[in-house]
Structure 1
């Protein structure tokens, strides 16, 4: 476990909608310079990432929550939380006071006013904050007091019920539960959690190592052990089953980094080796049975990917993002192709009246999918 912790500390500093038959241009400009792509071929309308100037070029945003086309929240290094309500034209710094030494890695927003953000780290560095007024004020609703715990991700089933997960404590992943929208948290009993593998942990890379679909299903992604696994619970985190994936592991830097489920049965897993310059073969897998079995992608992304999301209202199209680019699948994860070489760590899509996707990453980069 110690080597995994050291790797994870290094990871802090080292280390969207989809396109059906269209292309995303590679944005190589600064975050303030939005670039547009050309259509892949005649007759197709081009989709592209449009960079939004956040004014936070020194911050890496690994936490992202898309509320709609106009509203999104991002969270990142130095205790930073930003919010836009005008489609990224302007951003308001709504960071919790006194959080400058914290590393925010996940944020879940219910609307433009209510959000829950997770800070990661050993011991008391792992915390949860909640706001009900758009970030004007925050309440710390959880502070970890176990020196052996290290929280990585959180997810919500609805506006009230949610979970957060920690790396293994006493040989099992630890799960926090809330039934009041993140106002209070309870550690769930560990007897329903299978034993962790030696060195196994989660990756706080994109806020997608713990994801939910529907009222009670939740999945947890792992790496660092001999095998990269996905754990699944059908009862909001009380009991779990584990399944191996074909994504390579066996090293503290390798494994499944992100999951995306479009319903209770169809899911995607992406990951690899996050170290720059390292190859990441078999960096994606898919499931059609709720995670009981995983099949490798016949044509996976060419490099490590840390985030994934399904295109709203699509049964076959999804995105994967990472520091070296964005990939798209139009066949449910069987094959992927690179459509953008800009650096993003996380991606989130939202359905509803104005379905859209957002992406975020290093150097204050935040982008919205445009047509």
Structure 2
């Protein structure tokens, strides 16, 4: 009976051909798109081959499991063929189970590590509160953590495009984010409570799933979050539910919640720095000089920073709006994101429009390229 089912044109012969085609196609596909990943440039040949075969093996397991389930569900329709195929089907089922157990104990592929200069498309930055010498970087290809040797390791378990990346001031290794999955679409509002390793959607937002390119948690009340998705939205229950409050009078590039009042929010817009004292419903100028502003951030102790094109880095202490110039030595670069070391307010880190990471040890007066 076994010889009959292994002969050309039989059930088992077709399954074997199917699995062979799936395996070869999966390996070819993995190697074909491997140049899209940083591992192609930084990994050893062994690491590249391991990663490709590991992913292709997963594809084969999925294809095999789907086939087995289909055969076990639909094969009963052909009772005579079913009785003859049961023996081979059981063997195939046991093989799939063994392969899945082996894959489970083999563990995940090695973590993706790259030179820091090769980590680009930066959408957010935060200081690691457990080790202030290291930075979290939200990028177009996942969330990364810098290493002392001048490299960075992707710590998120995926390569999604993380936007609106912001730490939760009430929980040291918790973050909120939004953005896009690898294959397109919007992610809604996400939360991570394990240092940006895994992420869970807690809300789609209004008219979502939203894609908040800018989002912030209120230092005055960590349950209050603001996000910008065409209009300004606010959540008062730690991101679970949202409401639209208003639309800024100009294109908004960034926003920041006040550290003193949960109903006050600042906007960095094409028309300059703006402020709303009613949760985004109405807006007024926050600085007398009306030039495009690209970044604004507030600190828990009351300091606020902003970047204005042609003026440079500005600073004030809330609730005052008497912004004072700090530095304008950035050449033609503009600052898009800024983080302050929670253990040393004089130590600042910034991301430019060229994805360069800068560091300051004197409260923003002078800057140098970041070196871990």
Which of 244, 251, 255 in structure 1 is aligned with 2:293?
A: 255
**1:186 deviation in Å?**
1.7
Q: How does 1:2-17 map to 2 (within 5 A)?
A: none
Q: Contact conserved, 1:258 with 1:269, CA < 8 A, in 2?
A: yes
CA drift of 1:107 comes to 3.7
The two structures have a TM-score, normalised by structure 1, of: 0.52
Q: Is the 8 A contact 1:231 1:243 kept in 2?
A: yes
CA contact (8 A) 1:230 1:244 kept: yes
Q: Which residue of structure 2 aligns with residue 201 of structure 1?
A: 251
Spell out, residue by residue over 1:286-345, the C-alpha distance to the aligned partner (whole angstroms, 9 max, x if none).
334525343445756444222334454667675555246737484x67xx33x32x3xxx
Q: Give the match for residue 81 of structure 1.
A: 143
Deviations 1:237-266 (A, max 9, x none): 3766533435653xxxx42323344633x4
Task: Please state how far the C-alpha of 1:85 moved relative to its aligned partner.
Answer: 10
Match of 1:186 among 225, 236, 242: 242
Pick from 282, 307, 313: which aligns with 1:270?
307
Going from structure 1 to structure 2, the CA distance change for 1:74 and 1:144 (only over 3 Å counts) comes to same
Match of 1:326 in 2: 358
Q: Alignment length, in residue pairs?
A: 253
In structure 2, the CA distance between the partners of 1:146 and 1:247, relative to structure 1 (3 Å rule), is: farther
- Structure of higher CA gyration radius: 2
Q: TM-score, normalised by structure 2?
A: 0.52
The 5 A counterparts of 1:36-75 are 54=114, 57=118, 59-70=120-131, 73-75=136-138
SS in 1 for 2:269: coil
**In structure 1, C-alpha distance between the alignment counterparts of 2:195 and 2:327, rounded to whole Å:** 43
User: Aligned residue for 2:21?
Assistant: none
Give the 3-state SS of the residue equivalent to 1:151 in structure 2.
coil
Residues 1:177 and 2:235 are matched in the alignment: yes
Matched residue SS, 1:263: coil
Q: Tell me by how many angstroms 1:202 deviates.
A: 2.2
**CA contact 1:105–1:119 (8 Å) conserved in 2:** yes
The 1:289–1:108 alpha-carbon spacing in structure 2 relative to 1, beyond 3 Å, is: closer
Distance 1:91 1:294 in 2: 37
Trace 1:1-371 onto structure 2 (pairs within 5 A).
54=114, 57=118, 59-70=120-131, 73-78=136-141, 80-82=142-144, 91=153, 93-96=155-158, 100=160, 102-108=161-167, 110-112=171-173, 114-119=174-179, 125=186, 127-133=188-194, 137-144=198-205, 146=207, 151-157=212-218, 161-169=223-231, 174-180=232-238, 182=239, 184-188=240-244, 190=245, 196-197=248-249, 200-203=250-253, 209-213=255-259, 216=262, 218-224=264-270, 227-233=271-277, 237=279, 242-245=284-287, 249=291, 254-261=292-299, 263-264=301-302, 266-272=303-309, 281-297=310-326, 301-303=330-332, 304-310=334-340, 312=342, 318=348, 320-322=350-352, 323=354, 326=358, 328=360, 330=362, 336-337=365-366, 339-340=367-368, 342=369, 368=372
Structure 1 126/210 Cα, relative in aligned 2: closer, same or farther at 3 Å? farther
Contact 1:246 1:282 in 2 (8 A): no
More helix by share: 2
Unaligned runs of 5+ residues in structure 2 are 1-40, 44-111
- 1-structure distance, mates of 2:152, 2:359: 28
**Structure holding more strand per residue:** 1
Higher relative contact order (CA closer than 8 Å, sequence separation 6+): 1
1:66/1:162 CA distance change after superposition, 3 Å:
farther
Compute the displacement of 1:147 (Å).
7.8
